[in-house]
Amino acid sequence: MIKGLSSKEAEERLKQYGFNIIKEKKEISDIKLYLSQFKNPFMILLIFATILAYFLGDKLESLIILFIIIISTFLTFWQERSANKAIQKLLSIVKVYVNVIRDNKEVEIPIEYVVPEDIVVLRAGDIVPADGKIIESKDLFINEALLTGEPYPVEKRENDKIFMGTHVVSGYGLAVVEKTGQNTEFGKLAKKLKLGKEETEFERGLRKFGYLLVDIAILLVFVVFAVNIYFHRPFIDSLLFALSLAVGLSPSLLPAVITLNLSYGAKHIAKAGAIVKRLVSIENFGSMNVFCSDKTGTLTEGEMKIYGYKDALDMDNPLIAEYIYVNSFFETGYKNPIDDAIRNNLKDDIDITKYKKLDEIPYDFNRKRLSILVKKENKNILITKGAFPNIISISKYVFIDNNIQDIENYKDLIEKTFDEYSKKGFKVIAVSFKEINKEQISFEDENDMVFLGFLILFDPPKKDAKELIQKLSEIGVKLKILTGDNSSVSIYIANELNLSTKILTGKEIDNLSEEALIKVVQDVDIFAELNPLQKERVITSLRKAGNVVGYMGDGINDIAAMRSADVAISVNNAVDIAKETAEIVLLKPDLNILINAILEGRKTFINTMKYLFMQTSSNFGNIFSMAGASFIIPFLPLLPKQVLTQNLLTDIAVMSIPYDNVDKEWLKEPKRWNLEFIKHFMIVFGLISSVFDYITFGFLLIIIKASEEIFRSGWFLEGMLTQIFVLLVLRTRKNIFSSLPSKYLIASVSFIFLATIFIPYTIIGKILELKPLPLDIYLGVSVIVLIYLLVVEITKQYFYRKYRF
């Protein structure tokens, strides 16, 4: 009797070997998370320059700058920390568990708690959680494609090795764990090749955009610093000023805002009924324009109903029901609705005790059949059920009127019966049998069989399926069905759901080149009679055709396609390997949940882009203005501490963008990363901002004839007001009165507006050297800001006509 480890032994081994994970857990301490806020190189240079200034005698100024830096980084740290906590809470809802034997009983534990010497129980659909050795098996077949690339499952017997990352196709087994986590073969491979989901389009675009901003920041630092030194301004002040500008332009806050945005999106998607396992997939989810799925459970009820058991003459035959039940009762493959329906329908009608199982050849998606060898009395009977073409191809005889006859005389009749039921939308499973004189079987035994008849099943379309497909179409998502069912059934369902009946079968796909398939997949809605590798080819071709593709799967046959898709989607009752592969898990197979989740994904994407639009254009304009001001103004236009305070206050305002409302017009179609659009946006609206900064310079220097302190205070006021109020204008493509911002954005903008007005009257204003301004400056700046907002509003209308987002 296998007792397994004790709970105490398992706990000690967990301490010794660590968690059974490939990558270290991303949960980091608060201290490390806070320190990570300083990874911006300009921030580090600014801190060093500030410390240098301190030792050179400018102690108060240096302490003020350091204090502003601490406040600013703490703000981003706290937001990122809160977002990470929310994410971890959501992820705990969807976990993969494995069965192990501990304390002499079978228990279920999270996969990361598996330790060496654990006894793991393996069943169909299970992930192999670690490297180990089989100690007991029965018809155990494991798919090792992830490691070997071989699509066919491999049978595992006693003493055979098993490997982490593979999954059980059928059968039962016990294995002793030898290696876990990074010590497994998969762990070593992952470490060597950095395995994982490839970089998303959004991540790629964000990285390139970050490089662009850093390049601009480096150029500006050099120019501004050089100009100020040329005009013999203080070295340290010039350096601090230049670095402060760079911190303002470089995307230091971007990671925190994106994390906050994604976590907020994940929480709303969870409310819609789905759990996001990989945050960046939300952006792909919002960009998705093609959704691929099997019809079962998504467009249909997902509960197979048995219509009848028919022989070649379309007559009822109780032997068909009996043999079908025997095959389903003894099979050890992954759970599926067909076998569930058979077992539930016939469990009270057939005496299974008359049969003893001898052997099994599990179902695979190339043979598309399952064979069970049983003993009844003194006869060994091989019973095979599966897809009709795959059963008829191995049948030499047919069972009619209790007699075995040559099948050639009845083939046309059999095929006619099959076609008639298929065209009516029934799922038709064929069954054959033969008696053999052996107790173990192999693939070679699946020949010269006796065709017995059909199991007729029906899985009706959901009542709201048409409406849901229409909703998907209205939000710019094209539905494509990828199914293993025959083409006649698929066409029937397509007609029922008002889909195009243009169809492509697996055999036709195999005859197409890669280039030809890329052209064809765009115009086809139904792909039928597919095996897993053909599904993967379709997904890959759709992506190469320029689509962002989501694939929803819940079974072993979906894994290859899920790994190839931009967004892998599954359901919470799917097999473990499907849930593990998925990036988004629906809590139930309902397209309404999917549609709501897509819209939330789009909101998240759009609000992230809003932040980029507004921050880059505003900051680019301000920094361009400051660089120019260095040439024409005989003093530093703003002190470093004032620049950093502007950055801090603006950061507080933009932190509410993830909670902003999104225009319905922007949700009607998928949105994709567009670096060219962002560049145009940054230049156009940045230059407008800069023009009004120069107007402010003229107003303060020529009309008011302001002193250094009054100039800085006046420009600080104008810079803050333009930056925060332009948020309300640029957050929408509509006019400012037609699209209301969220209450959070209104509150944050109002708070920063009041802070900007009152800071000069406080002790903080004295520390920052900001002076209360005379009324004429307040009035003048207010007029400039209002005209600026009006110009931005008008320009925005023309901009969106020329450039598409």
| Residue 232 φ/ψ region, left for φ over 0, alpha for ψ in the -120 to 50 degree band, beta for the rest | left
The amino acid occupying position 413 is: L
CB–CB of 140/168 below 8 Å? yes
From 58, 294, 311, 590, the catalytic residue: 294
The burial of 39, by beta-carbon neighbours within 10 Å (0-12 exposed, 13-18 middle, 19 or more buried), is given as exposed
Alpha helices per DSSP H over 179-277: 185-193, 201-230, 235-249, 254-272
Choose among 432, 350, 344: nearest CA to 394: 432
Any idea which residue has 């500030």 for tokens? 50
CB–CB of 460/301 below 8 Å? yes
What does the alpha-carbon distance between residue 574 and residue 576 come to, in Å, rounded to a whole number?
Answer: 6
Q: How many residues make up the chain in this entry? A: 805
Report the Cα–Cα distance between both ends of the chain, in Å, rounded: 66
Q: State the DSSP code for 364.
A: -
Check if 311 is active-site.
Answer: no
Cα dihedral 579→581→583→585 (10° resolution): -20
The amino acid occupying position 307 is: Y
* Strand bridging mode 449-458 / 403-406: unpaired
- Angle 265-268-270 from CA coordinates, rounded to 5°: 110
What does the alpha-carbon distance between residue 710 and residue 708 come to, in Å, rounded to a whole number?
Answer: 6
| Residue 159 φ/ψ region, left for φ over 0, alpha for ψ in the -120 to 50 degree band, beta for the rest | left
Could you please report the per-residue DSSP string of 490-518?
HHHHHHHTT----EEEHHHHHTS-HHHHH
Q: State the DSSP code for 568.
A: E
Encoded tokens for 27: 């949960």
What does the alpha-carbon distance between residue 477 and residue 595 come to, in Å, rounded to a whole number?
Answer: 9
What does the alpha-carbon distance between residue 101 and residue 109 come to, in Å, rounded to a whole number?
Answer: 10
Other Cβ atoms less than 10 A from the Cβ of 171: the count is: 22
Choose among 776, 755, 775: nearest CA to 765: 755
Encoded tokens for 516: 């030809």
The amino acid occupying position 236 is: I
What residues act catalytically?
Answer: 294
